[in-house]
Amino acid sequence: MNGSLRWAAELESRNESFALATVIQVERPVSAKPGDRAVITADGRLAGWVGGSCSEPIVVREALLALDDGEPRLVRIRPPDAPFERAQPGVIVEITTCESEGGLDVFVEPRLAKPQLVIVGSSPVARTLAELARTLGYRVSAALDAPSERVPAADAGLPLSELSSASLRRQDAVVIATMNRYDDEGLEAALASGAGYVGIVASRQRVDRLTSLVRSRGAEADAIARVHGPAGFDLGPSSQQEIALAILAEIVAERHKVEATRPEEFCEPETTSAQAIDPICGMTVPVVDGAITAMHDGVAYYFCAPGCRKAFLADPESALERASAS
């Protein structure tokens, strides 16, 4: 396994979003070859090889956009004198101003973080819920209070004391299924975690007592509004397995509501990158760490390649005049 794929495996193990870029075709002369790969993280870092400074800014830009919209794309990078290519859905054609006469096609595939489910407790409902959630593609963690507790289907475990500081998003969920053992501690930690869905497996009376308790301890009204209790859709008299199914159905429904809102309201903050226009060639480039830049009169300008930066520095005023006139 090469370095970029090892990094991809590490990011997947940490449930972090990234994009995988693969060179699938080249037109010589270019420095890349089919099969070359790179991993681009949500903050714009690139590890691997997709052709160097002429192609990397384009690939990074499209990778960040793919992480925003969740859609893969074929990026066709061409020299200025290349024949016209008609636009197609899912295909991006970009003209580069680099001196190389070649071109290449790069397939950019977003690998988005899985939605997360943290289960507090090891009751029969908790164990069945973990199995069902994994089948639906959730990353499942178990927050338990005793070393003897087990949720076999969970991907990972964490001490209950660490749940409040877990990095959970609005599309993630916490379900408290302790059978009344430590559900008050679990509820306080779940409300502090940032999860959009907090479910309690308990009777209506027990749920009311728990929410009153955390309110008296300082929980905000908007946090308590995220509580679903008793958790799950009402299926009438149900088995433990059916209760778990009803809870997961409600979690999925709530996640879909969140994901139907504007992306900036639920995406990880780092997945949206600012962009700038190269004043020499007019290409859109991402504003990320390691970008090719130059300062002029206290303003930072961004470039697609070293050649454009060199041309800008040779006569910044003329370059800016041409850019503003175009």
Question: What are the tens digits of pLDDT across the range 165-180?
Answer: 888 989 999 999 999 8
Q: What percent of the chain has pLDDT over 70?
A: 94
Q: Are the C-beta atoms of 279 and 323 separated by less than 8 Å? A: yes
Q: Which of 92, 138, 135, 95 is nearest to 114 (CA)?
A: 138
Task: Tell which of 221, 246, 265 closes a domain.
Answer: 265
The strand pair at 275-277 and 284-286 is best described as antiparallel
pLDDT of residue 271: 45
pLDDT of residue 34: 94
Same domain, 212 and 296: no
Same domain, 230 and 250: yes
Task: Tell which of 244, 265, 286 closes a domain.
Answer: 265
Domain that residue 143 falls in: 116-265
DSSP notation for 198-232: EEE-S-HHHHHHHHHHHHHTT--HHHHTTEESS-S
pLDDT of residue 298: 85
Same domain, 179 and 62: no
The two tokens of residue 172 are: 């993630």
Segment 50-78 shows an average pLDDT of 89
pLDDT of residue 154: 95
Question: What are the tens digits of pLDDT across the range 84-118?
Answer: 787 788 999 888 766 666 789 999 999 999 999 99
